[in-house]
Amino acid sequence: MFGVSRTPRNLVFGEGQRDALPGYIAKVGSKALVVTDARMTMDTNFKAMIDGVSAAGVKTCVFDGTIAELPLDCIAKGVTLGQAFGADVVVGIGGGSCLDAAKVIGLLLAHGGRAADYYGEFKVPGPVLPLLLMPTTSGTGSEVTPVAVITDPERAVKVGIASPHLICHTAICDPELTYSCPPGLTAVSGADALTHAIEAFTTVRRQLIGAIVHEHVFVGKNVLSDAYALLAISNIARSLKPAYDNGSDKEARARLMFGATAAGLAFGSAGTAAAHAVQYPIGALTHTPHGAGVAVMMPYVMEFNRGFCEQELFQIGGAMGLDLNGKSVSEGASETIAAVADLFSSIGISQTIADLGVAETDLPLVVDQALGSTRLVKNNPRPLDHDSMTKLVAASFAGDRSQLNEKPKDH
Ligand SMILES: NC(=O)c1ccc[n+]([C@@H]2O[C@H](COP(=O)([O-])OP(=O)(O)OC[C@H]3O[C@@H](n4cnc5c(N)ncnc54)[C@H](O)[C@@H]3O)[C@@H](O)[C@H]2O)c1
Ligand SMILES: [Fe+2]
């Protein structure tokens, strides 16, 4: 057995637990740069949180310039503000874009340089400013993961900074902060979370040669990520549609957030794979949200990978609550893939990358750029080369999963 867990020092979950924020900040600093976006600063919960932090004796400076999908220049503005303020702790409050902005700002305040200096794995030289993260979407899991994802105009696709130093000091997940998410946001962020859990559970199982925790930030499938992934899948599968249908269903909101954070704990050590690799160029071409792209890809990727992870797909179906009693592994895997596709279409997720706005002439570029995400490509259970990636991308364009399955050559 092999298990890796990369987690914050403190992880607090529950309705109203945002009240724990001031006490945690006061333990690590006295000048907090609060990284968020313009929407959040209008929220009454936000104002109350800032008042609570001030009452705990911590000075605050709010940077509300985060832009969704995190273009690089908004980060620089946050760094300049944090330097002028003399911040010794960074608080991120918002969706994944705000949490990732807080991570990168905390990194640049501690180590200087530009974000591009740290792209890739293990490039962060040491601890960053203490980070406290509070998600307001049930999606990315960024509050517990060792990665931040950025849109850099000098790069064709989004880039990641992956380092255990980017794991926050304290994550506080308060489902009440997600009550304001409209159905479309609930759908794409929740679908991103389910995709994290499925990709983490089906990712490659590496050979245990040497200390692979120091070679890869994302070490592949392991017993701890598996436990978090199944926890995530069972909670998200039961709550995503109810939370989408009725945003004031408190139990669904809580389960969805719990599932999204568990999914972050799963992929934070195991990694994600092909669905995320293909989303990067699709997002860049179509300017569609991250969650929309990974969710479109997920059923195609499951079918593409099934010869290499059919048993895992069967287990995923069980965690989703499908009745697979008496079914063969292959039948169960088929039902699981269909159930994920049905769930996503029931919450308005597109069925093909053409529906997201990709043109047929874009496909060679999508293939090349997806293969360029080596951090993600190396995690896929079925090896990806130019031919197989072309097949996967073409199928997701045509809306046809039927030709994707292939058994491993040595079986
Ligand atoms: N670091 C990681 O581990 C990780 C993992 C997956 C994705 N990501 C990244 O996270 C980003 C996506 O994050 P996201 O899906 O949370 O969306 P987001 O942060 O990009 O936010 C999308 C929109 O939703 C709004 N919003 C956020 N919370 C809201 C709420 N409670 N009510 C109403 N509106 C709200 C925001 O203001 C914004 O306009 C992408 O940049 C993606 O690449 C990071
Ligand atoms: Fe994601």
CATH of residue 356:
1.20.1090.10
- Quote the pLDDT of residue 166: 98
How far, in Å, from the CA of 189 to the mean position of ligand 2?
8
Do both 162 and 287 map to the same domain? no
How far, in Å, from the CA of 41 to the mean position of ligand 1?
15
- Atom number, ligand 1, closest to the C-alpha of residue 185: 24
How far, in Å, from the CA of 136 to the mean position of ligand 1?
8
The CATH number of residue 152's host domain is 3.40.50.1970
Do both 171 and 100 map to the same domain? yes
Is 100 within a domain? yes
Within 6 Å (CB) of ligand 1, which residues are found? Answer: 37, 39, 68-70, 94-98, 100, 136-137, 139-142, 145, 147-149, 158, 177-178, 180-181, 185, 189, 192, 290-291
- Atom number, ligand 1, closest to the C-alpha of residue 149: 43
Q: Which of 124, 148, 178 is the last residue of a domain?
A: 178
Which structural domain, as residue segments, surrounds residue 74?
Answer: 10-178
- Atom number, ligand 1, closest to the C-alpha of residue 178: 31
Do both 139 and 240 map to the same domain? no
The structure tokens 């050590």 sit at 269
- Atom number, ligand 1, closest to the C-alpha of residue 264: 3
Name the closest-CA residue to atom 21, ligand 1: 95
Structure tokens at 194: 């389910």
Strands 131-135 and 89-94: parallel
Closest-approaching ligand to the CA atom of 184: 1
How far, in Å, from the CA of 261 to the mean position of ligand 1?
14
- Atom number, ligand 1, closest to the C-alpha of residue 189: 15
Do both 42 and 189 map to the same domain? no
Is 403 within a domain? no
Do both 212 and 354 map to the same domain? yes
Do both 195 and 344 map to the same domain? yes
> Kind and range of the H or E element at 93?
strand 89-94
Task: Report residues of the chain scoring pLDDT below 70.
Answer: 410-411
Is 131 within a domain? yes
Do both 127 and 217 map to the same domain? no
Closest-approaching ligand to the CA atom of 187: 1
Do both 128 and 267 map to the same domain? no
Closest-approaching ligand to the CA atom of 38: 1
Amino acid at 63: F
Name the closest-CA residue to atom 26, ligand 1: 95
pLDDT per position as a tens digit, 282-302 = 999 999 999 999 999 999 999
Is 410 within a domain? no
Is 1 within a domain? no
The residues, ordered by sequence, that sit 6+ positions from 199 with a Cβ below 8 Å of its Cβ are 267, 270, 271, 272, 273, 274, 275, 276, 298, 301, 379
Q: Which of 138, 162, 178 is the last residue of a domain?
A: 178
Amino acid at 94: G
Structure tokens at 100: 């990732």
Pocket test for ligand 1, best of 44, 64, 100, 189 (most atoms within 8 A of CB): 100
Is 404 within a domain? no
Do both 164 and 262 map to the same domain? no
- Quote the pLDDT of residue 410: 59
Do both 148 and 221 map to the same domain? no
Do both 192 and 152 map to the same domain? no
Closest-approaching ligand to the CA atom of 192: 2
How far, in Å, from the CA of 195 to the mean position of ligand 2?
7
State the Cα–Cα distance between residues 93 and 167, nearest whole angstrom. Answer: 15
Is 408 within a domain? no
Q: Which of 178, 201, 235 is the last residue of a domain?
A: 178
Do both 164 and 41 map to the same domain? yes
Is 409 within a domain? no
The total number of structural domains that make up the chain: 2
The structure tokens 């991120």 sit at 92
CA 146 to chain centre: 10
- Atom number, ligand 1, closest to the C-alpha of residue 158: 43
Q: Does the pTM exceed 0.85?
A: yes
The structure tokens 């479109």 sit at 296
Pocket test for ligand 1, best of 185, 189, 294 (most atoms within 8 A of CB): 185
